[in-house]
Amino acid sequence: MSEKKLYGIMAEFDTPTELVDAARRVRDAGYTKTDAFSPFPIHEIDEALGIRRSILPFLVFGGGVLGLLTGLGLQYYTHVIDYPIIVGGRPHFSLPAFIPPAYELTILFASFTAVFGMLFLNGLPMPYHPVFNVPRFALASRDKFFLLIERRDPKFEYEETRKFMESLNPQEVFDVEE
Amino acid sequence: MQDVKEFREQMQPAILEGKHDFATVSDKIGDITLKRKTPFHWFVGFAIAFLITQVLLMTITYLVLTGVGIWGNNQPVGWAFDIINFVWWIGIGHAGTLISAILLLLNQKWRTSINRFAEAMTLFAVACAGLFPLLHTGRPWLAYWLLPYPNTMGMWPQFRSPLMWDVFAVSTYATVSLLFWYVGLIPDFATLRDRAKSKVFKIIYGVLSWGWRGSARHWHRYEIAYLLLAGLSTPLVLSVHSIVSFDFSVSQLPGWHATIFPPYFVAGAIFAGFAMVLILSIPLRHWYNLKDFVTMTHLDYMGKIMLATGLIVCYGYAMEAFFGWYSAAQYEYFMIRNRIWEGPYWWSYWLLILCNGISIQLLWFKRFRQSEFWLFTISVIVSIGMWLERFVIIVTSLHRDFLPSSWAMYSPTIFDWSMFIGTIGFFFALFYLFVRFVPIISIFEVRTLLPEAHVHGHHQDFEEIVNEVEIEKIDKP
């Protein structure tokens, strides 16, 4: 390593099974600042890396409730408070007729929360990330699987961690520059 | 051994054919957008669609400069092509959402290779649908009055009206469909970004992929978001066409005022939508050599769904007629008699039955479901039939209303036709652009279909169970 700063050490694997097995051993060795990269979602990796369940579902539920209240509130305000007018002999607050718009807004708000909540929690959009400095990493979106231990991991020790990564039977081990 | 093979084929119909691995799947689908020369037929097809789009633009220009009087609708048929085409297009969109959301929740793996272009079809169909009510307002530049916003007139939209519900339903539907489609595209844009050779495409797809890097933590949240979107889209798609049917059924008009309308409309929408998915997928798999991904199994399944939803629609026709008779209301009974045999539009009703009722009976037979020619032909017939259905519902209910002195015939003008045909061109022009610039099949989801995508040693998957059965058979002959 010359003057360029090290971000972490990355290992490349050929199959998802190898990746998950390696991730388990990394976790068992006590590393915590780790990440895996794959061209498609692998469910087993969550447990192998010790990824905790996201709070996203609760946010989406909150978004839905907010949408419902917005829908009902909007219709209540416009038809009961601001401009009460009798239409078709219905009461000012005609709940059955107000359900469809409130229902649609529930779904709209919940969907926005799901998408933008996911992007926000993932820290996207992110135009630059050190992992892209490894030329082989372009294959992470095609057919290769990568495992990363970051330098800020308390257990990170360059020589030792690199040796440990090499012991996991990877195709190759790379230094990731900042 | 033979039994096991047959058993395996039965249990796992081929939704992915040929020899593929992660790399070939990525390259084969990605290269259509990225590397392969744009085929000649693309230019021909796009040019035709683009020309027809100009017809639409000219019609809209003339319409906006003159007024909706250039259309054939007038009292008593105040709603005609504008709403027929609106409902037709929005119905077509529904199959895309059904494939992407409902089939995902039902864990139907075969949806994976057709959901991308079906969702694109939804978006473009909704875009075409939206034009009609927008222009039917007569003053489209004031269309924002439909939205509730504080204004100097001190007025608000009327939320007790189904037309207002429609504004909310259709705009939510368009927005959520776009979100769903785009979220599905993010990892595939990342694949294109990493595969692109030219700087320009690297930047464009890089921006579109928002810096996606396939991190395990990202995938975790991504899958939650995707599943929740599917869960939200499912009630949404059912509600949208229910609300579209409320435009009719909440009114007091015989022929429209029927409780069967919401489910009957939803089934009809999916029916028409699958017909359009077949119309698009059969040429697509030929022209872009995608037979490995869109297999005969897919076409067969879509044929079955068309048959099932078509039969529900036929039940709707039967019930409409039954209600007319059983209601013992003279206007109801007159309307149905007028629609089926006494009125001047009887031919449209029987043409509808021929298209939507009779033609689909062929789909009971595997021979027809396994034939691209027949599936394509039946799909075209069904598309025509579903258009006729809306024509029958709208025109035959309106043209002879309660007072015989106001009865009249309806006939569309050339501008009704040019607008309708123009939107078909617009739809295909958008679809051609989509095929050229966006991966037409979800690459990352197709990767998960490959056997090597499963992590071994943690749970027994189907393949392993079958292998064990095979081994047992060898052991004990």
Domain at B304, CATH number: 1.20.1630.10
Per-residue pLDDT tens over the stretch B344-375: 999 999 999 999 999 999 999 989 998 889 99
> Is residue B163 included in any domain, yes or no?
no
- Which chain B residues are closer than 8 Å to A128 by Cβ? 211
> Is residue B444 included in any domain, yes or no?
yes
Question: Which candidate in A42, A98, A141 is best for mutational testing of the B interface (most B CBs within 10 A)?
Answer: A141
> Is residue B293 included in any domain, yes or no?
yes
> Is residue B13 included in any domain, yes or no?
no
* Residue B361 Cα, gap to closest chain A Cα (Å): 36
Taking 60 as the threshold, does the pLDDT of residue B195 lie above it?
A: yes
Q: Is B214–A111 a contact, with Cβ atoms under 8 angstroms apart?
A: no
Question: Which candidate in B34, B161, B215 is best for mutational testing of the A interface (most A CBs within 10 A)?
Answer: B215
Per-residue pLDDT tens over the stretch B260-317: 999 999 999 999 999 999 999 999 888 888 888 888 888 988 999 999 999 999 999 9
Flag the least confident range among A96-100, B7-11, B136-140: B7-11
> Is residue B414 included in any domain, yes or no?
yes
Q: Is B216–A36 a contact, with Cβ atoms under 8 angstroms apart?
A: yes
CB pairs under 8 A between A and B: 196
pLDDT of A159: 83
* Average pLDDT score, chain B: 87
- Give the mean model confidence (pLDDT) for residues B89-93: 92
- To which residue do tokens 């679809």 refer? B431
Taking 60 as the threshold, does the pLDDT of residue B126 lie above it?
A: yes
A93 touches chain B (CB under 8 A): no
pTM of the model: 0.88
Integer angstrom CA distances of residue A16 from A53, A84, B273, B459 = 21, 62, 37, 14
Range of the domain at B294: 38-149+170-465
- Which chain B residues are closer than 8 Å to A150 by Cβ? none
Q: How far apart are CA B368 and CA B350, in angstroms?
A: 23
Per-residue pLDDT tens over the stretch B388-440: 999 999 999 899 988 889 898 999 999 999 999 999 999 999 999 999 888 88
pLDDT of B2: 55
* Residue B94 Cα, gap to closest chain A Cα (Å): 16
Residue of B160, B225, B236 with shortest CB distance to A56: B225
Q: Is A114–B228 a contact, with Cβ atoms under 8 angstroms apart?
A: yes
Q: Is B218–A88 a contact, with Cβ atoms under 8 angstroms apart?
A: no
DSSP at A41: -
Integer angstrom CA distances of residue B386 from A19, B90, B251, B259 = 51, 12, 22, 20
> Is residue B386 included in any domain, yes or no?
yes
Q: Is A37–B179 a contact, with Cβ atoms under 8 angstroms apart?
A: no
Q: How far apart are CA B474 and CA B469, in angstroms?
A: 9
> Is residue B318 included in any domain, yes or no?
yes
A98 touches chain B (CB under 8 A): yes
Rg (Cα) of chain A, in Å, rounded?
Answer: 25
Is ipTM over 0.85? yes
> What is the share, in percent, of chain B residues with pLDDT greater than 90?
47
> Is residue B162 included in any domain, yes or no?
no
pLDDT of B477: 45
For chain B, the domain total comes to 1
Chain B residue closest in CA terms to A77: B156
Bridge pairing between strands A172-177 and A6-13: antiparallel
pLDDT of B470: 58
Taking 90 as the threshold, does the pLDDT of residue A61 lie above it?
A: yes
